[in-house]
Structure formats: C-alpha cells, structure tokens
Structure 1
Amino acid sequence: MKTGGGRRRLVFGALLAAAICAPAEAQETGTLIQRKAAQIQDRGKNAARLTMESFAQCLVSRSRGRVTKFAEMRVDDAAYGKYLRSLFDAAGDACLSGGQLQFNSVVFRGTVFQALYAAEFPTADAPVEFSTVASSGYRARYGDAVPDAARSALALEQFGECVARADGAGVRALLGANANSSDETARFNALVPRFSACIPKGETLAFSKIILKGALAEGLYWLSKAAESGAPAAP
C-alpha cells in the first residue's frame, strides 16, 4: 500500500516499537549455537521464532548448494514458491526433532538468509564497510519495472541493504546476537536511528523481529557478496 511520507513513517514507528521494545524473555548473549536439528520450543511467545531459526541453520549446514540456488532466484520466478516450499519440506525429517513448524514464506526466507550469511561470512574480517561498493546488484535483477509479485520482498531487501550500508558493523552484531536476548534487543535499539531513513519510497513495511532481522541479513549478505567479488567502486 502506498502512503505519503508522514503516514509511512508514523506506521513504521508504531510497528517498530512493538517489534523491538517488548522485553526479552531470555537473557542469553553471544553468537547463535549451531544445532543438528531444531528442538521444538513449546513455551514462550517467541517459541516459533527460536525453532525456525535453528531449523534454518540446520538446513543451510546440510544443503548449502540448494540454499544458494534459492538465494539466486528472482522472487517472481514461476518456480520460486515451489522451490522454497520444497526446501522447507525436504529438511523436515533431518532438521526438526519432533513436532511441526508452520510454513510462512517471508519468515522462512529471512531465517534462511540469516543462516546463509552466518555460514558464508563467519569470521571477524567479514566486510562491514561498503562505501566503495556502488551497488550489490540485487535491485538490478528486476529491471526498471518491479513485478507486483516481487515488490514486497524487494522492498524488504532494499531496506536491509540500506541499513547495512549505513551501519554494517551494527547489523553484523545484531545477526550474531541470540534470538530474544537482551543483547539482541539492545542491538536492535542501537540501529533504530538508521531505520526510518531506509524505508523504500512509497512502501509501508510491517515488521516483527524475525522479519526485520531477516531483511537486514539479506541486505548485508548481498552487499558482502558484492564486496567479496570486487564490485565496481562507487563514484
């Protein structure tokens, strides 16, 4: 839905406050713990989020090639939805220890990019400064006229890329914080000044923590790939 700038920022501010300022239920800090299979979390309002992030980590560790193929697909590709669902279904037996997860394409995409970034850029010398990178190249995949089927996904990615370009170190630190920890909440709050300036023009973006973190992960991932490959320098 398109809105004027004032309305867009008002809606964003209310949603962001709800997503970030809720008190954390757990107080763990540090990097995410890699698990062979996700354990269903049956308590707490963020149980599904914790389980989904562990599930995505397992998927990336077991099927990196298939996940990389998915990451390269355009969202409006006729095969995109089927391929994404196939990744989710195929990983069920290996990556979920009992119970069921509900499939949500936006949430699943975001958690996969979190896990993919962690797998491909695990060391402290990963790029976090992108002033010399002219473009990640991701937006160019869709040409001048963005298809309706890709508009929301592209808006989230461009938002994440904008924030990552403004504060790559801050985004990387957020991605390394445990889900639902006080550390994660603090790192979200530290990035708030970057967020409102990065909403794509004409878009209203609704955020939960898991969707917001996924968007930031995808944006940082594509900028990091561009920096790694020696993308053309900014003028």
Structure 2
Amino acid sequence: MNAAFALSLLAIASAAAAQAPDKEVRLGSRLPVKIDKRAQDAAQVREVHQRFGECVVKKHYPEAIAYLLNHPTVDEDDREGRKLVRKLADGACLVAAADIGPGGVVMTLPDDTMRYALSDTLVRREFAAAPLTDLDRVVRLAHPSLDPAEFEPKPGKKLSQKELAELAANRGKEQARIYLSQFGECVVRVDPVKSHALLMAPVNSPAESAAFAALKPRLGECVVEGRTLELNKTIVRGTVAYGYYRLAKAPRSAAPLAPGTPQ
C-alpha cells in the first residue's frame, strides 16, 4: 500500500514529550499569556524530532540521502526502502534525543515525521550558505500517487461498515500526504528566501517565529482551491524542508524552462 511508514520507537522520555504533533496549537492561533501546557508539550516534541534527525544524519548520512531522494513512498514491495527505514529508525538516536528523564514510553514518529526531521537536518548541513536561486531550471518534482484500488474491497470480499470506513480514512490520509508533499515544493518555489530563513532558524526560537510570520502570507498561494489543510509548525517546516532538499538536489537544465513547462 502506498502509505507513509509509521514508526514507533521505545524511548526514554516523559509522557508530555510523547504527545503527537497533531496536538500542537495550530499555526496562527493566539496563545494565552500564561503558559499553555499543550503548546509547551508540542515544543518539546519538536525539539526531540530535531535532535533525532541530527543524530540519524550523523550516523547514517548516505542512507538518509538515499531514503529522501529515492524513496518518496515506501510500500511493502520496496525492499530497499524498507531496509533503509529500519536502519534510519535508530532507537539509540531517539533515546538520546528524548533525554528528558526516566520512565520508558513509546514515542511515535507518525506519517512523514522522520522524513521531515532528516530533511531539516540535511538542508542546514548542506545548504546553509545561501537560499536557492535557480529553481526556474528545475522541473516539477515527482510526488507519490494514489492508487484507488488499494483503498477498495478486494474482488469477491465483502467488508463491514467499519472496515469500509477504515479504507476511506486511509485513502484520505494518503491523499493528504500527497497534497502536503506538493504543498511543500510549491512553498519553496514561491519564496525560496523565506523558506531558507525558516529552515535556518532553531526550532522554537524567536527567529523561527519571525520566519513563520514572514512566510505565512505566501502559504495561501499554494493551497489548491477546494482542498483544505490543517497546518501546524511541525508540518509546515517539515514539508518545506523536504521540498527544499529535493529541489536543491534535483538536476538543473542548462537554461530556464520555457513558459508553460511544469515547474
């Protein structure tokens, strides 16, 4: 099935740090003056993700690159991709990244969280000097595609209402994943300078908050009419990092693409 490869790793962390990214306060929400426990927990999770990415890239640099550039989807038939995921899902790195205190818990890296963390680290490692300037020479990136047959009952098999609902939910998740991948590429293309500034800023820093505020007006340019996205800081920064790294590594044409050529 063309679906994100969810990871669950045993880590030493507090229950607060194990909270999933979708519990974040949404980007643009007003935070109260007093400490918001939910936002505080989400901030801790984001820092764990960044430290995890840094550790994995340090230990498995070639594998991280191969995973990001050659395996946008890892399905059951992708033996090489699954092998890479097993190596990159480094439990020791997650234990070290979640250095918050005793009490073993299972911390989940859902959907494309690991992909986002690795991309963020690699952009800062390889492309810190200056923003991309030649994106008019790069054709549109390849993104995962949806196979409707994967989300329909097998011939001759009757499913319960619950099973049909699960298929529909999984299809929706995969559609959202594809859309987010396209969204990240679009954001980088419309404003590579502000995208670069965001990725260079430390997570949860004043510089990052300023970079999010500067980039926010451009996000609407990449929302396709009729579609909706729930965005938080983890998702926006992550998909921008993934799009940025792939665009930075993509082949360049000798001259800018002709008008009308997909970009």
TM-score of the two chains, using structure 2 as the length reference: 0.63
Distance 1:120 1:222 in 2: 12
Per the alignment, residue 44 of structure 1 pairs with 40
Distance 1:177 1:230 in 2: 27
TM superposition shift of 1:220: 1.3
- Alpha carbons of structure 1 residues 105 and 179: separation in structure 2 relative to 1, 3 Å: same
Trace 1:93-172 onto structure 2 (pairs within 5 A). 95-96=96-97, 98=99, 101-124=107-130, 126-130=131-135, 132-139=136-143, 142=144, 146-147=146-147, 151-172=175-196
- Alpha carbons of structure 1 residues 225 and 23: separation in structure 2 relative to 1, 3 Å: farther
- Alpha carbons of structure 1 residues 85 and 200: separation in structure 2 relative to 1, 3 Å: farther
Per the alignment, residue 72 of structure 2 pairs with 74
Contact 1:20 1:185 (8 Å CA) reproduced: no
Aligned length: 196
Per the alignment, residue 88 of structure 2 pairs with 87
Identify unmatched segments of 5+ residues in structure 2.
1-23, 34-38, 148-170, 259-263
Distance 2:74 2:60 in 1: 23
Per the alignment, residue 5 of structure 1 pairs with none
TM superposition shift of 1:83: 4.2
Contact 2:63 2:84 (8 Å CA) reproduced: no
The percent identity for this pair of structures is: 26
Trace 1:50-69 onto structure 2 (pairs within 5 A). 50-69=47-66
- Alpha-carbon displacement from aligned partner over 1:43-71 (angstroms, at most 9, x marks no partner): 93211111111110121122111111211
- Alpha carbons of structure 1 residues 61 and 136: separation in structure 2 relative to 1, 3 Å: farther
TM superposition shift of 1:174: 0.5
Identify unmatched segments of 5+ residues in structure 1.
1-15, 26-42
TM-score of the two chains, using structure 1 as the length reference: 0.69
User: Which one has the largest radius of gyration?
Assistant: 2
TM superposition shift of 1:128: 3.6
CA-based RMSD of the aligned residues comes to 3.2
TM superposition shift of 1:82: 6.8
